[in-house]
Structure 1
């Protein structure tokens, strides 16, 4: 194989997406990131695909764009005391290992079964968001057993992320609220903190594999940083009930998006 062929095999079509479109996408992503404690990849990747960006390039650029928004969001929540640093680090340790295991198992497990199990999890979370309302002063009672559980929760999240291509925030935020007793704000702030090391690791890997468009990542990431504080202010301004209600709408949209994507993939195979 010649050098020219090797280079072309790692090169994707790079449509000239207008800067204004990328800025608007970043503003929406940053606001959702600050409001819900999620990375924003569930918004960035589908939007980039609609704009004609290659799947791998869209995913890699999304991870890079999420990094600055996660840093700004985590810092904002930290300033208000809404980050559990130890819990975030334990989750991050688990998710880094779990993500590697998820990509390893990707070709070895029946994804169809896992997909519907995960969809069932999302449905249960959506219902729970209307039943269990956390209190703003709730904290995670850290004990050795809870610490181990946090690492395991991070590992399971990483595995699901690697297998199904979903972001960790949509899993970790409800898990921290319902299984670890965190308030909605601490769950969101800790989720954003957890994403930082994972995003750094993934961005380095994507850059090496050329699955990254720096122009897209820069426009979306920088504009996301601008809007993230507004999402943070909204999260503090609304009550835990309305926070849960809004999060349930986001989860429903993600579930619908995943079903559509799954059905389209099955049609292509058929």
Structure 2
């Protein structure tokens, strides 16, 4: 029998990896990863892929593509619960999120086509620089909880451009849209932190569904892992969103800045390893 999506044979990666992926320890790991990802997703308005992918790779022997595809599938229910949680507090800009998603879906296709032509090391260092600017900006601009995301003839096209840029970056580097969209909505559009997070989560749903369909066709999704991670994440996403409403916007920015620094360090380490591999 041929292995299903996400199930590897001993000839592929060794019997030990299969046992870890399907044994009790693997199930516990999937649930733990989901709990952590869900909390961060609700708290910061991100998909949680920046937590899910490295943990699947490091703890359970997933390769990068399988980890990314599994993470994207798990993000769909996680983001849906997050949207509901933020919508309860009237913190979701529905139409702007659809515009962002439209740009992101198109941008992701562009990014994947550009991927073979651009140096991943240069891209990663560029993204690290971008995150550094964002982190500094988060301490200079504190969002107002009363600010809304108004849709105008100017902001509409700009949202489409932001979605396009986010999608291209996701296709090139594999980062989730929330890392770009949340700070952009707060800093460039003057949106409140809660609306930025809720809108970001809504934008992710159609983007993640589109990506997951493609990954399923290429057998880059472990359905069992995605289900366990996704269901576990759903149990803590609402908690994260609730905590976000309790945290002062300034301290919310501080926590988000710490998260972005963590991502930047991860990206810098990948860039350094990539450079060493080429020079070895």
Query: What TM bracket, shorter-length normalisation?
Result: over 0.9
Does 2:222 align with 1:213? yes
TM-score after normalising by structure 1: 0.94
Partner of 2:34: 26
TM-score after normalising by structure 2: 0.91
Give the distance between the partners of 2:260 and 2:273, measured in 1 at CA: 20
Which sits farther off after the overlay, 112-121 or 258-267? 112-121
Instruction: Report the Cα offset of residue 145 of structure 1.
Output: 1.6
Does 2:235 align with 1:230? no
Partner of 2:45: 37
Does 2:126 align with 1:147? no
Which sits farther off after the overlay, 47-56 or 173-182? 47-56
Q: Structure 2 matches for 1:29-178, cutoff 5 A? A: 29-51=37-59, 52-178=61-187
Q: Please, which runs of 5 or more residues in structure 2 have no aligned partner?
A: none
SS in 1 for 2:124: helix
Give the distance between the partners of 1:79 and 1:236, measured in 2 at CA: 11
Instruction: Report the Cα offset of residue 141 of structure 1.
Output: 2.2
Deviations, residues 197-221 of structure 1 (Å, cap 9, x unaligned): 0110111111111001011101100
Match 2:199 to one of 176, 190, 193: 190
RMSD: 1.8
Number of aligned residues = 265
Give the distance between the partners of 2:243 and 2:133, measured in 1 at CA: 25
Instruction: Report the Cα offset of residue 233 of structure 1.
Output: 0.9
Q: Please, which runs of 5 or more residues in structure 1 have no aligned partner?
A: none
Instruction: Report the Cα offset of residue 269 of structure 1.
Output: 2.2
Instruction: Report the Cα offset of residue 80 of structure 1.
Output: 1.1
Instruction: Report the Cα offset of residue 195 of structure 1.
Output: 0.1
Give the distance between the partners of 1:112 and 1:213, measured in 2 at CA: 28
